[in-house]
Structure 1
Amino acid sequence: MIVPAYAKMLVSSHAGWEDVERVHPSVISLFLFLVLPMSFVPPAMILYAGFDYGANYFEAASRITWVASSLLFLVAELVTVPLMAWAITSIAETRGIRAKYSDTFAVASIAAVPMWLSSVALFVPNPLFVIGIVLLGLIAAISLIYHGIAGLMHLHEEVEVAAITYTTICFGVIAWMVLISLVFLPLL
């Protein structure tokens, strides 16, 4: 996917999403060529931050602890994307909307990209900067979830899209807090 099309997906339920629907990537190809490679970015950044300036914030954490935290985070990320796809499918079905898992997996995979990329902020050893960038990534992910649900599930009723998105976001924030806990708990 090219960057201009991806940027349009943030604000449109058609631009970019129609390309995804036309190509209709399989769950396996999305996992292998998007989820798997992008999932390595946050653990790599966690290792970088831990080795470079982690001792400033977690004095007792050894290099092995940082490696364990980053590997645990990687495994959790790889589980979270399919779990989010399942959640979107289930939430839609509770509202009487039939959703294909391949479409919800595409939404979950594409929506996770800003969160993965926000971890690059760990190059800057400033917690407020990192938090700010992560929050921007979260906002972008929410927008992608909203527009992806509307676009790939062909929903035109904004109330339905908003309800599915809201419930998905609540579930996603809980999953995100678990992911963050997996990094920090071993370091304490």
Structure 2
Amino acid sequence: MSPLMLFRLILPSSGAWARLRDHPPSVLALILFPVLPLALIPPIMLYQAGTGYPEAFGDAFAGREWGYITIILFLAELLTFAVMGWLIHEVGNTRSAHISAHSAYLVAAVAPVPMWLSAFALFVPSLTVITSIALIGLIWSCAIVFRGISHLCRIGADVEAMSITYTVMAASVLAWGLLLAIIWGL
């Protein structure tokens, strides 16, 4: 999947979701790419930032066990992919929409890509830059979930797709907030 394809996934009429719907990669192919390699980016970048310039992020970052923290983060990302696919499937099928488990995992594999790529902001030792780019990644991820649900569920009303997207993203942000709280406490 190219970066151009990723950008097209947020456009309402680009045809990118139709191509993915008509020629979906297998779940194993999704795990092998994009999930596994791109999920490695945030832990690697966090390790680099945490060991390279922890003082740029405040005293709380100094002296942490970054190897342990990044392993937990990577495993949590993989778990999040599995749970997000399940959640999209369950929420998408409790309303008037219908989404297959395969399509739900397709959205779950593609949606976090902007968040994973936003971890490259950790090259810059500035909390403002990192936070800004992470927020852009989060917004882009939300847009991908919305467009994916709209196209793969073939929902005519945007309100229905927004409701499903809101539920999925709220649960995802809550889960990541809990994970960050756990990591912060390590």
2-structure distance, mates of 1:13, 1:107: 17
List aligned pairs for 1:96-135, cutoff 5 A. Answer: 96-135=96-135
User: Contact 1:118–1:137 (CA<8 Å) still a contact in 2?
Assistant: yes
User: How many residues are treated as equivalent by the alignment?
Assistant: 184
Structure of greater relative contact order (alpha carbons < 8 Å, 6+ residues apart): 1
Identity of aligned residues (%): 33
Aligned residue in 2 for 1:61: 63
How far residue 91 of structure 1 moved from its aligned partner, in angstroms, is 0.8
1:31 paired to 2:66: no
1-structure distance, mates of 2:54, 2:125: 9
How far residue 22 of structure 1 moved from its aligned partner, in angstroms, is 2.2
How far residue 115 of structure 1 moved from its aligned partner, in angstroms, is 0.5
Paired AA for residue 63 in structure 2: A
Output one character per residue of 1:104-126: Cα deviation in whole Å (capped at 9) or x when no partner.
11111111000001111011111
TM-score by length of structure 2 reads: 0.92
2-structure distance, mates of 1:75, 1:98: 30
Where has structure 1 moved over 6 Å in runs of 4 or more?
none
Paired AA for residue 162 in structure 1: M
User: Contact 2:45–2:119 (CA<8 Å) still a contact in 1?
Assistant: yes
- Name structure 2 gaps, 5 residues minimum: none
1-structure distance, mates of 2:87, 2:27: 15
- Name structure 1 gaps, 5 residues minimum: none
Output one character per residue of 1:27-67: Cα deviation in whole Å (capped at 9) or x when no partner.
111012210111100000011001111145236524xx011
Paired AA for residue 122 in structure 2: L
List aligned pairs for 1:149-188, cutoff 5 A. Answer: 149-186=149-186
Aligned residue in 1 for 2:86: 86
User: Contact 1:69–1:182 (CA<8 Å) still a contact in 2?
Assistant: no
How far residue 11 of structure 1 moved from its aligned partner, in angstroms, is 2.1
User: Contact 1:73–1:182 (CA<8 Å) still a contact in 2?
Assistant: no
Secondary structure of 2:156's aligned partner: coil
TM-score by length of structure 1 reads: 0.91
User: Contact 1:13–1:151 (CA<8 Å) still a contact in 2?
Assistant: no
Deviates more, 1:177-186 or 1:80-89: 177-186
2-structure distance, mates of 1:101, 1:122: 34
